[in-house]
Amino acid sequence: MSPLWTILLILVPLAGALLVIFGGDGKNAYRDALWASIASLVPAVMMLIRFDYTRAAEFQGAASWTWIEQLGLRLSIGTDSIALLLIALTVLLGPVCVLASKTAITKHRRMYYAWLLILQAAMVGVFASRDLLMFYICFEFTLLPMFVLIRMFGSTNRVAASTKFFLYTFTGSIIALAGLVYVVGFAADLNGAWSLDIGVLTAAAAQMSAGQQAMVLGALLAGFAVKVPLFPVHTWLPLAHTEAPTAGSVILAGVLLKLGTYGIYRFAIPMAPAAFTEYAPAIATLSIVGIIYAGLICWIQDDIKKLVAYSSVSHLGFCVLGLAALNAAGLSGSVLYMLSHGLSTGGLFLMIGFMYERYHTRDMRKVSGLASKMPVWAFFMVFFAMASVGLPGLNGFPSELLCLIGAFQADEAWTLAGEPGAAGVTLGPWYAAVAGLGMVIAAMYLLIMVGRICFGPLVEPEGHHAHAVLPDDLNTREIITLLPLAVGCLVFGFFPGLLLDAIHDPVNQTLELVRAGSAAAADTAGAFTQGVRP
């Protein structure tokens, strides 16, 4: 695979952003942004075709240029199959977001679409980068477009929401930077040369002593857990989701949250394998608390958008649980979940957005029985809700199931033949059982929500009158917006094997690292903090 496609994938949205800014007024902005986001599908498809799936664990399409030599900062790209799939998801959501914003965004359109495209480029940059600092730069840079989108185009409480969003994630990630730099320093002492290459760092980091690993893990989790968000630091998410414009919510749920889980998968686990193994039960417990707690909050929500936002917290809990299981089932389930959650929750946010455009309310008490007036809308609503619940045949089911199986098996006593759990991980049936309760709660609140707003007698908010432009039910543009997500849900649901095959190799490689790392850590003494230098 040629690195050209990856580069195009970053450059095309950026060029699109320039076109949007300098290409005339707001109407052109929508058109230009749409073309740019569709054009960036081409390199993504080329990547998917040209990727050599037999060597899925290798970073293909690698290329690298020196930027700041003294800092070891290189612009270095390359993708394995997991990064590739996440990039594909990002790029897929691009046109969806643009299409969904046509009527919702009426002011400052050039600013809006430009930042949307820049955001897409930054997110692709995160997944594609093989250089630590480039990863970090892209990772942080996603904050600014999202901040502008929420602050400028959000609803009433947007100032507080955007500030909270920025502060939480910025604080976390700058602490993560400290942790990452610590690893770089350790690797430099070990190898006698500065390097920011993620592969080199991962290999060196496993040599750290248990104490050092625990410290690094703490710092990295401070950054990534906020982004996921894991239970005690999740409070920014519901606010940000509720206040963000529809497309913002879709990207936030679809990709930005995945930066956190991707970060844990790509950095926290391989760089601190022993510590992660040691603290896996604690991390799993936090994610389970998140699953149940956020699920219970969803149950009592009247604000639909807030409900879906909290359901994101709950669902991402499964994702982290799968990671904490540290076995093939858990990890692949988790990666699968990263992809499928983007589709189904993204879809739900779109549905809510379409409803909000027509009724200007997100309050469940004010609307009901919309199925009679908007049958197509109601169909998709039920569809995405079912996908979220985990109905077999749709995307939520295989990934959630795999995460739970992973947690269930991640106990040495329960190790199945041919798939040993990682050494020392002590999750087990109890974890899976309690987390499974979360699925039941999810079914409850999502079905209650669907039942209340889609079925029953038709109730519309007082003083409601038809939208000036939009018809009562979804128009063609909106259906086209939803189709890619719906098709994606079906494909994931019926053929999860396709994806599982693709991610099999990298997941196994990570597991190998963890096993080797936790074995090695036991007898490595750290010399770094004591000032011993080569």
Partner 1 sequence: MIEKLAIVWPEIILFATTCVVMLTGQWPVCAVRRMTPWLAAVGLIAAIGAAMASPPSDGLYPDLVPYAKSLVGIMGLMILPLLAGTVDRELEAGVARGERFEPLRSNGAEFYAFFLFSLTGLMLVASSDTLIWLFLALELTSLPTYMMVTLSSRSTRAHEAGVKYFFLGALGAAIFLYGFTLLYGATGSVNIPTIAAHFAEHGLGPIGLAGVLISLIGLFFKIAAVPMHFYTPDVYQGAASPVSAMLAFVPKMAGFMAIFMIVGSAGWGPDGTGLPVPVEALLWVVAAMTMTVGNVLALLQSSVKRMMAYSSIAHSGYMLVGVIAGPGGDGASFWRNGLAAVLFYLLCYGVMNLGVFAVLASLERKGQEADDIDDIRGLVRTHPPLGWSMVICCLALLGFPPLLGFIGKVGLITSGITSGHLALVIILAINSAIAALYYLRLVAAVYLEPASDTGFRPSRYGSRQVAALVSAGGVLVLLLMSNRLITAADDASRYAPVAPETAPYAEAGANN
Interface ranges with partner 1 (CB under 8 A) = 67-72, 133, 136-137, 140-141, 144, 147-148, 151-152, 159, 162-163, 166-167, 170-171, 174-175, 177-178, 181-182, 184-185, 188, 194, 215, 219, 529, 531, 533
User: Distance between CA atoms of 280 and 116, rounded to whole angstroms?
Assistant: 36
Residues with Cβ within 8 Å of residue 417, at least 6 apart in sequence: none
Instruction: Measure the CA–CA gap between 229 and 434, rounded to whole angstroms.
Output: 19
Helices (H), 67-209: 81-100, 109-128, 132-141, 143-153, 158-191, 198-205
**Cβ count near 476 (within 10 Å):** 8
Write down how long the chain is.
Answer: 534
Q: Between the CA of residue 375 and those of 381, 449, 474, 475, what are the distances in Å?
A: 10, 16, 9, 12
* Contact predicate 40/16, CB 8 Å: yes
Q: What are phi and psi of 60, to 5 degrees?
A: -100, 160
CB of 5: closest distance to partner 1 in angstroms? 23
Q: Which is nearer to partner 1, 196 or 228 (CB)?
A: 196
Please name every residue paired with 77 in a beta bridge, in sequence order, or none if there are none: 63, 129
**Euclidean distance between CA atoms 150 and 241, whole angstroms:** 9
Q: Which is nearer to partner 1, 210 or 378 (CB)?
A: 210
Q: 136 vs 384, which CB is nearer to partner 1? A: 136
Nearer to partner 1, 68 or 417 (CB): 68
- Start-end of H helices in 40-78: 41-50
| DSSP 8-state assignment for residue 362 | -
Q: How far is the CB of 104 from partner 1 (least distance, A)?
A: 18
Q: At what angle do helices 109-128 and 3-22 cross, to 10 degrees?
A: 170
Contact present, 62 and 78 (Cβ < 8 Å):
yes
Nearest distance from residue 231's CB to partner 1, in Å?
21
* CB of 155 vs partner 1, minimal distance in Å: 15
Instruction: Give CA–CA dist 307/444, Å, rounded.
Output: 12
Q: Which is nearer to partner 1, 237 or 450 (CB)?
A: 237
Q: How far is the CB of 531 from partner 1 (least distance, A)?
A: 6
SS3 52: coil
Residue 427: Cβ within 10 Å count: 28
CA distance 127 to 122: 9
DSSP per residue, 220-258: HHHHHHHHTT-GGG-THHHHHHHHS-HHHHHHIIIIIHH
* Closer Cβ to partner 1, 159 or 480, answer by number: 159
Instruction: Report which DSSP code applies to 428.
Output: -
Q: How far is the CB of 532 from partner 1 (least distance, A)?
A: 10
Contact by Cβ (8 Å): 242, 306: yes
* Choice between 245 and 496, CB closer to partner 1: 245
Question: 404 is written with which tokens?
Answer: 């739970």
Q: What is the smallest separation between the CB atom of 424 and partner 1, expressed in angstroms?
A: 26
Q: What are phi and psi of 461, to 5 degrees?
A: -60, 150
219/280 with CB nearer partner 1:
219
Minimum distance of partner 1 from residue 105's CB (angstroms): 15
Q: Does the N-terminal peptide bond of residue 229 adopt cis geometry, omega within 30 degrees of 0?
A: yes
* DSSP code, position 266: I
Decide whether 186 or 431 has the Cβ nearer to partner 1: 186
Of 187 and 352, CB closest to partner 1:
187
Q: What is the dihedral of CA 95, 97, 98, 100, to 10 degrees?
A: 120
The number of beta carbons lying within 10 Å of the beta carbon of residue 66 is 10
| Closer residue to partner 1 (CB): 196 or 206 | 196
Nearer to partner 1, 4 or 178 (CB): 178
Is the Cα torsion angle 87, 88, 91, 96 positive or negative in sign? negative
Quick one: 212 or 399, whose CB is closer to partner 1?
212
Give the amino acid at 428.
G
CB of 246 to partner 1, least distance (A): 19
